[in-house]
Copies of this chain bind each other. A is one copy, B any other.
Protein backbone atom coordinates (compact mmCIF):
# COMPACT_ATOMS: atom_id res chain seq x y z
CA UNK A 1 0.00 0.00 0.00
CA UNK A 2 2.51 2.61 1.11
CA UNK A 3 4.92 1.34 -1.53
CA UNK A 4 2.27 2.07 -4.13
CA UNK A 5 2.02 5.59 -2.83
CA UNK A 6 5.69 6.21 -3.51
CA UNK A 7 5.32 4.73 -6.99
CA UNK A 8 2.36 7.03 -7.61
CA UNK A 9 4.37 10.14 -6.72
CA UNK A 10 7.83 8.98 -7.76
CA UNK A 11 8.19 11.37 -10.71
CA UNK A 12 7.27 14.33 -8.53
CA UNK A 13 9.84 13.25 -5.90
CA UNK A 14 12.57 12.72 -8.48
CA UNK A 15 11.90 16.11 -10.07
CA UNK A 16 12.06 17.84 -6.65
CA UNK A 17 15.30 16.05 -5.74
CA UNK A 18 16.81 17.08 -9.07
CA UNK A 19 15.69 20.70 -8.63
CA UNK A 20 17.22 20.89 -5.13
CA UNK A 21 20.53 19.77 -6.64
CA UNK A 22 20.45 22.10 -9.64
CA UNK A 23 18.71 25.02 -7.85
CA UNK A 24 17.00 25.67 -11.20
CA UNK A 25 13.34 26.73 -11.44
CA UNK A 26 10.81 24.08 -10.47
CA UNK A 27 7.28 23.97 -9.14
CA UNK A 28 5.06 20.93 -8.65
CA UNK A 29 1.93 22.92 -7.80
CA UNK A 30 0.54 25.56 -10.14
CA UNK A 31 0.53 29.00 -8.50
CA UNK A 32 -2.22 30.36 -10.77
CA UNK A 33 -5.73 30.21 -9.27
CA UNK A 34 -7.09 30.47 -12.80
CA UNK A 35 -10.10 28.32 -13.78
CA UNK A 36 -8.09 27.23 -16.82
CA UNK A 37 -5.72 25.49 -14.41
CA UNK A 38 -7.96 24.33 -11.59
CA UNK A 39 -11.36 24.17 -13.30
CA UNK A 40 -14.35 26.46 -13.48
CA UNK A 41 -15.90 25.57 -10.12
CA UNK A 42 -12.72 25.18 -8.08
CA UNK A 43 -12.68 28.74 -6.69
CA UNK A 44 -16.35 28.76 -5.72
CA UNK A 45 -16.18 25.23 -4.28
CA UNK A 46 -13.15 26.14 -2.17
CA UNK A 47 -14.80 29.31 -0.86
CA UNK A 48 -17.92 27.32 -0.01
CA UNK A 49 -15.87 24.64 1.75
CA UNK A 50 -14.20 27.36 3.84
CA UNK A 51 -17.49 29.06 4.68
CA UNK A 52 -19.01 25.72 5.67
CA UNK A 53 -16.53 25.61 8.61
CA UNK A 54 -17.62 28.97 10.00
CA UNK A 55 -19.56 28.75 13.25
CA UNK A 56 -18.92 25.00 13.51
CA UNK A 57 -16.95 22.53 15.57
CA UNK A 58 -14.06 21.37 13.45
CA UNK A 59 -14.27 17.55 13.26
CA UNK A 60 -10.96 16.58 14.83
CA UNK A 61 -10.31 14.59 18.00
CA UNK A 62 -7.25 15.54 19.99
CA UNK A 63 -6.20 13.06 22.71
CA UNK A 64 -6.38 14.70 26.13
CA UNK A 65 -8.53 17.58 24.87
CA UNK A 66 -11.14 19.09 27.17
CA UNK A 67 -13.79 21.34 25.66
CA UNK A 68 -13.13 23.62 22.76
CA UNK A 69 -11.50 26.89 21.78
CA UNK A 70 -12.65 29.45 19.23
CA UNK A 71 -9.99 32.11 18.82
CA UNK A 72 -9.94 33.30 15.20
CA UNK A 73 -11.08 36.63 13.74
CA UNK A 74 -10.51 37.54 10.11
CA UNK A 75 -8.45 40.71 9.53
CA UNK A 76 -11.17 41.34 6.94
CA UNK A 77 -13.55 41.95 9.80
CA UNK A 78 -15.50 38.94 11.03
CA UNK A 79 -15.14 36.15 13.59
CA UNK A 80 -14.57 32.70 12.13
CA UNK A 81 -16.23 31.16 15.16
CA UNK A 82 -14.80 27.73 14.34
CA UNK A 83 -14.14 25.68 17.46
CA UNK A 84 -11.35 23.16 17.96
CA UNK A 85 -10.55 20.68 20.73
CA UNK A 86 -8.63 22.43 23.52
CA UNK A 87 -5.44 20.47 24.28
CA UNK A 88 -5.28 20.23 28.06
CA UNK A 89 -3.92 16.83 29.17
CA UNK A 90 -0.40 16.93 27.72
CA UNK A 91 0.45 13.45 29.08
CA UNK A 92 -2.41 11.95 27.11
CA UNK A 93 -1.52 13.94 24.00
CA UNK A 94 2.16 12.99 24.00
CA UNK A 95 1.49 9.34 24.74
CA UNK A 96 -1.14 9.11 21.98
CA UNK A 97 1.28 10.79 19.59
CA UNK A 98 3.96 8.21 20.44
CA UNK A 99 1.71 5.16 20.14
CA UNK A 100 2.06 4.74 16.38
CA UNK A 101 5.77 5.55 16.20
CA UNK A 102 7.12 2.02 15.86
CA UNK A 103 4.86 1.03 12.94
CA UNK A 104 5.67 4.37 11.30
CA UNK A 105 9.41 3.69 11.78
CA UNK A 106 9.02 0.21 10.33
CA UNK A 107 7.36 1.65 7.20
CA UNK A 108 10.85 2.80 6.24
CA UNK A 109 11.93 5.85 4.25
CA UNK A 110 10.10 4.86 1.07
CA UNK A 111 6.88 3.98 2.87
CA UNK A 112 6.81 7.20 4.87
CA UNK A 113 7.79 9.28 1.85
CA UNK A 114 4.94 7.82 -0.17
CA UNK A 115 2.44 8.68 2.57
CA UNK A 116 3.76 12.24 2.92
CA UNK A 117 3.64 12.79 -0.85
CA UNK A 118 0.05 11.52 -0.89
CA UNK A 119 -0.77 14.00 1.90
CA UNK A 120 0.60 16.81 -0.26
CA UNK A 121 -1.54 15.83 -3.21
CA UNK A 122 -4.63 15.58 -1.00
CA UNK A 123 -3.83 19.03 0.42
CA UNK A 124 -3.50 20.22 -3.18
CA UNK A 125 -7.07 19.14 -3.92
CA UNK A 126 -8.16 21.50 -1.12
CA UNK A 127 -5.94 24.42 -2.17
CA UNK A 128 -8.80 26.92 -2.64
CA UNK A 129 -10.28 26.01 0.74
CA UNK A 130 -6.81 26.41 2.30
CA UNK A 131 -6.32 29.74 0.50
CA UNK A 132 -9.54 31.10 2.01
CA UNK A 133 -8.52 29.80 5.44
CA UNK A 134 -5.10 31.45 5.12
CA UNK A 135 -6.65 34.69 3.85
CA UNK A 136 -9.04 34.98 6.76
CA UNK A 137 -6.50 34.15 9.45
CA UNK A 138 -3.34 35.86 8.18
CA UNK A 139 -5.00 38.73 6.39
CA UNK A 140 -3.22 37.96 3.14
CA UNK A 141 -5.13 38.99 0.02
CA UNK A 142 -6.67 36.00 -1.76
CA UNK A 143 -4.18 35.56 -4.59
CA UNK A 144 -1.23 35.77 -2.20
CA UNK A 145 -2.93 33.37 0.21
CA UNK A 146 -3.44 30.97 -2.72
CA UNK A 147 0.18 31.26 -3.81
CA UNK A 148 2.19 31.68 -0.60
CA UNK A 149 -0.27 29.77 1.58
CA UNK A 150 -1.11 27.11 -1.01
CA UNK A 151 1.10 26.39 -4.03
CA UNK A 152 4.38 27.75 -2.65
CA UNK A 153 3.77 26.16 0.76
CA UNK A 154 3.22 22.82 -0.98
CA UNK A 155 6.47 23.35 -2.90
CA UNK A 156 8.35 24.10 0.35
CA UNK A 157 6.83 20.98 1.91
CA UNK A 158 7.86 18.87 -1.07
CA UNK A 159 11.34 20.39 -0.90
CA UNK A 160 11.66 19.35 2.76
CA UNK A 161 10.45 15.83 1.93
CA UNK A 162 12.90 15.60 -0.98
CA UNK A 163 15.83 16.63 1.23
CA UNK A 164 14.80 14.21 3.98
CA UNK A 165 14.33 11.33 1.52
CA UNK A 166 17.77 12.00 0.02
CA UNK A 167 19.29 12.09 3.50
CA UNK A 168 17.55 8.91 4.71
CA UNK A 169 18.38 6.91 1.59
CA UNK A 170 22.06 7.89 1.26
CA UNK A 171 22.78 4.96 3.57
CA UNK A 172 21.64 1.63 2.04
CA UNK A 173 19.22 -0.57 3.99
CA UNK A 174 21.70 -3.44 3.78
CA UNK A 175 25.33 -3.78 2.75
CA UNK A 176 27.84 -6.58 2.25
CA UNK A 177 31.23 -5.88 3.85
CA UNK A 178 34.13 -8.07 2.77
CA UNK A 179 37.58 -7.42 4.19
CA UNK A 180 40.42 -9.20 2.41
CA UNK A 181 42.74 -11.15 4.70
CA UNK A 182 45.52 -13.71 4.57
CA UNK A 183 43.11 -16.59 4.16
CA UNK A 184 39.38 -16.30 3.74
CA UNK A 185 38.11 -12.71 3.64
CA UNK A 186 36.01 -11.50 6.58
CA UNK A 187 32.42 -11.24 5.32
CA UNK A 188 29.62 -9.42 7.09
CA UNK A 189 26.10 -8.48 6.18
CA UNK A 190 25.02 -5.16 7.67
CA UNK A 191 21.55 -3.72 8.20
CA UNK A 192 20.95 0.03 8.58
CA UNK A 193 17.67 1.30 10.00
CA UNK A 194 16.46 4.91 10.11
CA UNK A 195 15.01 5.55 13.58
CA UNK A 196 13.06 8.64 14.71
CA UNK A 197 14.24 11.08 17.38
CA UNK A 198 10.92 11.22 19.23
CA UNK A 199 7.88 13.46 19.28
CA UNK A 200 8.17 16.58 17.10
CA UNK A 201 6.50 19.87 17.95
CA UNK A 202 5.60 22.41 15.28
CA UNK A 203 4.70 25.88 16.56
CA UNK A 204 2.84 27.84 13.90
CA UNK A 205 2.69 31.59 13.32
CA UNK A 206 -0.15 33.96 12.50
CA UNK A 207 1.08 35.39 9.19
CA UNK A 208 2.13 32.22 7.31
CA UNK A 209 0.34 29.33 9.04
CA UNK A 210 1.07 26.83 6.25
CA UNK A 211 4.19 28.14 4.49
CA UNK A 212 6.16 28.36 7.74
CA UNK A 213 4.76 25.20 9.38
CA UNK A 214 4.73 22.64 6.59
CA UNK A 215 8.50 22.32 6.03
CA UNK A 216 9.14 21.34 9.67
CA UNK A 217 5.98 19.25 9.88
CA UNK A 218 6.85 17.12 6.86
CA UNK A 219 10.60 17.02 7.55
CA UNK A 220 9.87 15.53 10.99
CA UNK A 221 7.01 13.26 9.88
CA UNK A 222 8.79 11.72 6.89
CA UNK A 223 11.83 10.92 9.05
CA UNK A 224 9.63 8.87 11.40
CA UNK A 225 8.63 11.29 14.14
CA UNK A 226 5.05 11.87 15.32
CA UNK A 227 4.16 15.56 15.01
CA UNK A 228 2.14 17.68 17.41
CA UNK A 229 0.98 20.80 15.56
CA UNK A 230 0.48 23.81 17.87
CA UNK A 231 -1.09 26.56 15.75
CA UNK A 232 -1.13 30.26 16.57
CA UNK A 233 -4.50 30.89 18.25
CA UNK A 234 -5.36 33.43 15.53
CA UNK A 235 -4.51 31.04 12.66
CA UNK A 236 -5.80 27.57 13.50
CA UNK A 237 -8.02 26.62 10.56
CA UNK A 238 -5.28 26.22 7.92
CA UNK A 239 -3.45 23.79 10.22
CA UNK A 240 -6.65 22.05 11.33
CA UNK A 241 -7.34 21.27 7.67
CA UNK A 242 -3.70 20.15 7.35
CA UNK A 243 -3.97 17.79 10.33
CA UNK A 244 -7.31 16.46 9.05
CA UNK A 245 -5.75 15.55 5.71
CA UNK A 246 -2.67 14.02 7.39
CA UNK A 247 -4.88 11.86 9.61
CA UNK A 248 -7.09 10.73 6.72
CA UNK A 249 -4.14 9.66 4.59
CA UNK A 250 -2.32 8.02 7.53
CA UNK A 251 -5.46 6.03 8.41
CA UNK A 252 -6.07 4.94 4.83
CA UNK A 253 -2.45 3.79 4.66
CA UNK A 254 -2.91 1.74 7.84
CA UNK A 255 -1.09 3.97 10.30
CA UNK A 256 -2.16 5.62 13.55
CA UNK A 257 -3.84 8.94 12.69
CA UNK A 258 -2.50 10.42 15.93
CA UNK A 259 0.95 10.49 14.34
CA UNK A 260 -0.18 14.03 13.50
CA UNK A 261 -2.30 15.88 16.06
CA UNK A 262 -3.67 19.40 16.47
CA UNK A 263 -2.96 21.11 19.80
CA UNK A 264 -5.19 24.18 19.89
CA UNK A 265 -5.28 26.48 22.91
CA UNK A 266 -6.60 29.69 24.37
CA UNK A 267 -4.15 32.54 23.83
CA UNK A 268 -3.00 32.42 27.46
CA UNK A 269 -2.67 28.63 27.85
CA UNK A 270 1.13 28.70 27.21
CA UNK A 271 0.75 25.27 25.61
CA UNK A 272 3.86 25.63 23.42
CA UNK A 273 6.08 26.27 26.43
CA UNK A 274 4.58 23.29 28.26
CA UNK A 275 5.05 20.94 25.30
CA UNK A 276 8.51 22.26 24.40
CA UNK A 277 10.18 21.00 27.57
CA UNK A 278 8.55 17.55 27.66
CA UNK A 279 11.26 14.86 27.64
CA UNK A 280 9.42 13.01 24.84
CA UNK A 281 9.66 16.07 22.58
CA UNK A 282 12.96 15.81 20.67
CA UNK A 283 12.33 18.14 17.72
CA UNK A 284 10.85 21.64 17.69
CA UNK A 285 10.12 23.90 14.72
CA UNK A 286 9.19 27.45 15.62
CA UNK A 287 8.33 30.57 13.62
CA UNK A 288 7.68 33.78 15.48
CA UNK A 289 9.14 36.46 17.71
CA UNK A 290 12.63 36.56 19.17
CA UNK A 291 11.53 36.44 22.79
CA UNK A 292 9.91 32.99 22.66
CA UNK A 293 12.34 31.74 20.00
CA UNK A 294 15.28 32.57 22.26
CA UNK A 295 13.43 31.04 25.21
CA UNK A 296 13.01 27.78 23.27
CA UNK A 297 16.70 27.68 22.30
CA UNK A 298 17.60 28.31 25.93
CA UNK A 299 15.16 25.97 27.69
CA UNK A 300 14.18 23.13 25.34
CA UNK A 301 17.55 21.45 25.93
CA UNK A 302 16.25 17.91 25.28
CA UNK A 303 15.22 18.83 21.73
CA UNK A 304 16.80 19.96 18.50
CA UNK A 305 15.26 23.41 18.01
CA UNK A 306 14.79 25.03 14.60
CA UNK A 307 13.80 28.69 14.86
CA UNK A 308 12.86 31.45 12.45
CA UNK A 309 12.68 34.67 14.41
CA UNK A 310 12.88 38.35 13.50
CA UNK A 311 15.50 40.57 11.97
CA UNK A 312 16.04 43.90 10.25
CA UNK A 313 15.96 43.39 6.50
CA UNK A 314 18.13 45.88 4.71
CA UNK A 315 18.43 47.63 1.37
CA UNK A 316 21.55 49.57 0.43
CA UNK A 317 20.99 52.12 -2.35
CA UNK A 318 24.17 53.39 -3.99
CA UNK A 319 23.10 54.11 -7.56
CA UNK A 320 20.80 52.73 -10.24
CA UNK A 321 20.38 52.60 -13.99
CA UNK A 322 16.58 52.79 -13.76
CA UNK A 323 15.28 55.04 -11.01
CA UNK A 324 11.58 54.48 -11.68
CA UNK A 325 11.95 50.68 -11.81
CA UNK A 326 13.91 50.71 -8.53
CA UNK A 327 11.26 52.82 -6.81
CA UNK A 328 8.51 50.60 -8.23
CA UNK A 329 10.26 47.43 -7.06
CA UNK A 330 10.81 48.79 -3.54
CA UNK A 331 7.26 50.17 -3.32
CA UNK A 332 5.90 46.73 -4.20
CA UNK A 333 8.07 45.07 -1.53
CA UNK A 334 6.86 47.56 1.11
CA UNK A 335 3.23 47.07 0.08
CA UNK A 336 2.98 43.33 -0.38
CA UNK A 337 0.90 42.01 2.56
CA UNK A 338 1.48 45.38 4.24
CA UNK A 339 5.10 44.46 4.93
CA UNK A 340 3.95 41.74 7.34
CA UNK A 341 6.57 39.33 6.01
CA UNK A 342 9.74 38.18 7.74
CA UNK A 343 11.40 38.97 4.40
CA UNK A 344 10.01 42.49 3.89
CA UNK A 345 12.62 45.26 3.70
CA UNK A 346 12.73 47.77 6.57
CA UNK A 347 16.05 49.63 6.60
CA UNK A 348 16.95 51.48 3.40
CA UNK A 349 20.41 53.05 3.65
CA UNK A 350 21.40 55.72 1.12
CA UNK A 351 23.97 58.54 0.98
CA UNK A 352 22.70 61.88 2.34
CA UNK A 353 24.37 63.36 -0.74
CA UNK A 354 22.01 61.38 -2.92
CA UNK A 355 22.21 58.47 -5.37
CA UNK A 356 23.26 58.73 -8.97
CA UNK A 357 20.72 57.56 -11.53
CA UNK A 358 20.30 57.55 -15.32
CA UNK A 359 18.62 60.91 -14.72
CA UNK A 360 21.30 62.53 -12.56
CA UNK A 361 21.78 62.53 -8.80
CA UNK A 362 18.61 62.11 -6.76
CA UNK A 363 18.54 63.42 -3.19
CA UNK A 364 17.03 61.29 -0.39
CA UNK A 365 13.93 63.51 -0.63
CA UNK A 366 13.69 62.76 -4.36
CA UNK A 367 14.11 59.03 -3.69
CA UNK A 368 11.31 59.25 -1.14
CA UNK A 369 9.18 61.10 -3.68
CA UNK A 370 9.93 58.44 -6.27
CA UNK A 371 8.85 55.68 -3.88
CA UNK A 372 5.78 57.71 -2.92
CA UNK A 373 4.81 58.06 -6.56
CA UNK A 374 5.28 54.34 -7.12
CA UNK A 375 3.15 53.60 -4.05
CA UNK A 376 0.52 55.89 -5.51
CA UNK A 377 0.49 53.92 -8.77
CA UNK A 378 0.25 50.61 -6.87
CA UNK A 379 -2.20 51.65 -4.18
CA UNK A 380 -4.06 54.69 -5.51
CA UNK A 381 -7.14 52.67 -6.32
CA UNK A 382 -8.60 51.04 -3.18
CA UNK A 383 -10.03 48.05 -5.02
CA UNK A 384 -6.60 47.22 -6.48
CA UNK A 385 -4.76 48.26 -3.32
CA UNK A 386 -6.46 45.72 -1.06
CA UNK A 387 -5.43 42.87 -3.38
CA UNK A 388 -1.79 43.80 -2.74
CA UNK A 389 -1.97 44.99 0.88
CA UNK A 390 -4.32 42.46 2.37
CA UNK A 391 -5.41 43.17 5.94
CA UNK A 392 -3.49 44.12 9.08
CA UNK A 393 -3.02 40.84 10.94
CA UNK A 394 -3.25 42.09 14.52
CA UNK A 395 -3.78 45.08 16.81
CA UNK A 396 -0.07 44.89 17.69
CA UNK A 397 0.87 45.66 14.11
CA UNK A 398 -1.64 48.50 14.00
CA UNK A 399 -0.28 49.93 17.26
CA UNK A 400 3.31 49.76 15.94
CA UNK A 401 2.24 51.52 12.76
CA UNK A 402 0.46 54.27 14.70
CA UNK A 403 3.45 54.74 17.01
CA UNK A 404 5.99 54.76 14.17
CA UNK A 405 5.32 58.30 12.94
CA UNK A 406 6.73 59.69 16.18
CA UNK A 407 10.14 58.09 15.46
CA UNK A 408 11.21 60.11 12.44
CA UNK A 409 10.12 62.61 9.80
CA UNK A 410 7.25 61.10 7.85
CA UNK A 411 8.27 60.97 4.19
CA UNK A 412 5.26 58.91 3.14
CA UNK A 413 2.23 58.71 5.42
CA UNK A 414 0.19 55.56 5.92
CA UNK A 415 -3.36 55.72 4.60
CA UNK A 416 -6.46 53.84 5.69
CA UNK A 417 -7.95 51.91 2.80
CA UNK A 418 -11.61 50.94 2.59
CA UNK A 419 -12.10 47.38 1.41
CA UNK A 420 -14.80 47.26 -1.26
CA UNK A 421 -15.91 43.78 -0.21
CA UNK A 422 -15.26 43.78 3.55
CA UNK A 423 -16.12 47.12 5.12
CA UNK A 424 -14.84 46.07 8.55
CA UNK A 425 -11.45 45.05 7.15
CA UNK A 426 -8.36 46.73 8.61
CA UNK A 427 -6.25 47.87 5.65
CA UNK A 428 -3.34 50.32 5.72
CA UNK A 429 -0.74 51.50 3.21
CA UNK A 430 2.93 51.51 4.25
CA UNK A 431 4.64 54.50 5.80
CA UNK A 432 8.19 55.64 5.02
CA UNK A 433 10.15 57.51 7.68
CA UNK A 434 13.34 59.55 7.36
CA UNK A 435 16.18 58.63 9.75
CA UNK A 436 19.91 59.22 9.85
CA UNK A 437 22.79 56.89 10.73
CA UNK A 438 22.58 58.28 14.27
CA UNK A 439 19.10 56.83 14.86
CA UNK A 440 20.35 53.32 15.55
CA UNK A 441 18.02 53.01 18.54
CA UNK A 442 15.15 53.05 16.02
CA UNK A 443 16.44 51.13 12.99
CA UNK A 444 18.27 48.38 14.91
CA UNK A 445 14.93 46.94 16.05
CA UNK A 446 12.41 45.18 13.83
CA UNK A 447 9.17 47.13 13.42
CA UNK A 448 7.09 44.29 11.95
CA UNK A 449 4.41 45.74 9.65
CA UNK A 450 3.98 48.47 7.02
CA UNK A 451 6.86 50.63 8.27
CA UNK A 452 10.12 51.30 6.42
CA UNK A 453 13.01 53.63 7.18
CA UNK A 454 14.96 55.73 4.67
CA UNK A 455 18.27 56.13 6.51
CA UNK A 456 20.71 58.82 5.37
CA UNK A 457 24.39 57.91 5.72
CA UNK A 458 27.74 59.56 5.03
CA UNK A 459 28.03 57.46 1.90
CA UNK A 460 27.74 53.92 0.54
CA UNK A 461 30.77 52.76 2.51
CA UNK A 462 29.01 53.70 5.74
CA UNK A 463 25.76 52.18 4.45
CA UNK A 464 27.50 48.84 3.89
CA UNK A 465 29.22 49.00 7.27
CA UNK A 466 25.91 49.72 9.02
CA UNK A 467 24.31 46.85 7.09
CA UNK A 468 27.05 44.42 8.14
CA UNK A 469 27.06 45.45 11.79
CA UNK A 470 23.28 45.65 12.21
CA UNK A 471 22.64 42.25 10.64
CA UNK A 472 25.44 40.55 12.57
CA UNK A 473 23.98 41.93 15.80
CA UNK A 474 20.24 41.76 15.12
CA UNK A 475 19.83 39.39 12.18
CA UNK A 476 18.02 39.58 8.85
CA UNK A 477 16.18 37.24 6.48
CA UNK A 478 16.92 39.32 3.36
CA UNK A 479 19.15 42.06 2.01
CA UNK A 480 19.27 43.99 -1.25
CA UNK A 481 21.62 46.38 -3.01
CA UNK A 482 21.14 48.84 -5.83
CA UNK A 483 24.35 49.93 -7.54
CA UNK A 484 25.75 50.35 -11.03
CA UNK A 485 29.27 49.89 -9.64
CA UNK A 486 30.75 46.40 -9.77
CA UNK A 487 33.01 47.31 -6.85
CA UNK A 488 30.10 48.36 -4.66
CA UNK A 489 28.18 45.19 -5.50
CA UNK A 490 31.30 43.15 -4.72
CA UNK A 491 31.72 44.94 -1.36
CA UNK A 492 28.05 44.32 -0.58
CA UNK A 493 28.40 40.62 -1.46
CA UNK A 494 31.37 40.39 0.89
CA UNK A 495 29.42 42.14 3.64
CA UNK A 496 26.46 39.79 3.07
CA UNK A 497 28.79 36.77 3.44
CA UNK A 498 30.14 38.25 6.69
CA UNK A 499 26.63 39.00 7.94
CA UNK A 500 25.35 35.61 6.75
CA UNK A 501 22.33 36.91 4.85
CA UNK A 502 21.00 36.29 1.33
CA UNK A 503 21.52 39.21 -1.06
CA UNK A 504 19.38 40.38 -3.99
CA UNK A 505 21.17 42.65 -6.47
CA UNK A 506 19.51 45.39 -8.54
CA UNK A 507 15.99 44.00 -8.58
CA UNK A 508 14.25 46.14 -11.21
CA UNK A 509 11.67 43.74 -12.59
CA UNK A 510 9.24 41.05 -11.55
CA UNK A 511 11.30 39.57 -8.70
CA UNK A 512 11.07 41.11 -5.24
CA UNK A 513 13.44 40.87 -2.29
CA UNK A 514 10.74 39.40 -0.05
CA UNK A 515 10.14 36.45 -2.37
CA UNK A 516 12.09 33.20 -2.14
CA UNK A 517 11.57 30.33 -4.57
CA UNK A 518 11.45 26.77 -3.27
CA UNK A 519 14.20 24.39 -4.51
CA UNK A 520 16.35 27.37 -5.56
CA UNK A 521 16.41 30.09 -2.90
CA UNK A 522 17.32 29.17 0.67
CA UNK A 523 14.94 30.88 3.11
CA UNK A 524 17.06 31.99 6.06
CA UNK A 525 20.69 31.00 6.41
CA UNK A 526 21.13 29.97 10.03
CA UNK A 527 24.18 32.24 9.95
CA UNK A 528 22.71 35.30 11.66
CA UNK A 529 20.43 35.87 14.68
CA UNK A 530 17.20 36.00 12.65
CA UNK A 531 17.09 32.21 12.19
CA UNK A 532 19.12 29.18 13.28
CA UNK A 533 17.90 27.11 10.32
CA UNK A 534 17.24 27.32 6.59
CA UNK A 535 14.48 26.09 4.25
CA UNK A 536 15.91 23.71 3.15
CA UNK A 537 19.42 22.44 3.51
CA UNK A 538 20.99 19.22 4.77
CA UNK A 539 21.25 20.57 8.31
CA UNK A 540 17.46 21.09 8.35
CA UNK A 541 16.78 17.36 7.91
CA UNK A 542 19.91 15.39 8.88
CA UNK A 543 19.43 15.58 12.66
CA UNK A 544 15.73 14.63 12.59
CA UNK A 545 16.57 10.91 12.56
CA UNK A 546 19.37 8.51 13.45
CA UNK A 547 20.72 5.39 11.78
CA UNK A 548 21.03 2.23 13.88
CA UNK A 549 22.90 -0.72 12.42
CA UNK A 550 23.24 -4.44 13.05
CA UNK A 551 25.85 -6.75 11.57
CA UNK A 552 26.44 -10.48 11.28
CA UNK A 553 28.81 -12.86 9.52
CA UNK A 554 27.68 -14.47 6.26
Contact = CB atoms under 8 A, between A and B. Distances in A.
B177 A24 contact: yes
Interface in A494-509: 496-497, 500-509
A552 interface: yes
Interface in A226-278: none
B520 A548 contact: no
B177 A517 contact: yes
A14 B345 CA distance: 44
A546 B539 CA distance: 9
B301 A190 contact: no
Interface in A16-36: 21-25
A173 to B, nearest CB: 10
Contacts of A547: 522, 525, 534, 537
B25 A548 contact: no
A172 interface: yes
A500 B195 contact: yes
Q: How many copies does the complex hold?
A: 2
A54 interface: no
Given A539-B543, A546-B526, A549-B521, A176 B24 contact: yes
A24 B506 contact: no
B22 A549 contact: no
Interface in A502-554: 502-511, 517, 520-522, 525-527, 534, 537-539, 542-543, 546-553
A508 B503 CA distance: 59
Contacts of A190: 23, 520-521
Nearest to A520: B177
Contact of A511 (B105, B188, B195, B522): B188
Size class of the contact patch on chain A: 35 or more
A501 B297 contact: no
A434 interface: no
Contact of A506 (B500, B525, B552): B552
Contact of A548 (B297, B496, B550): B496
Contacts of A301: 297-298
A546 B517 contact: no
Nearest to A510: B186
A522 B175 CA distance: 13
A549 B522 contact: yes
Nearest to A501: B548
A193 interface: yes
Contacts of A500: 195, 546, 548
A21 B170 CA distance: 6
Contacts of A542: 537-539, 542-543
Given A503-B549, A504-B550, A546-B526, A172 B497 contact: no
24 contacts: A22-B175, A23-B171, A23-B190, A24-B175, A24-B177, A25-B180, A177-B517, A181-B510, A186-B509, A191-B493, A192-B522, A193-B497, A197-B527, A493-B550, A496-B548, A496-B550, A500-B548, A502-B548, A504-B551, A505-B552, A506-B552, A506-B553, A511-B551, A543-B543
Given A22-B172, A506-B553, 6 more contacts: A24-B177, A501-B548, A503-B550, A526-B543, A542-B542, A542-B543
Interface of A: 21-25, 105, 167, 170-172, 175-181, 186, 188, 190-193, 195, 197, 297-298, 301, 493, 496-497, 500-511, 517, 520-522, 525-527, 534, 537-539, 542-543, 546-553
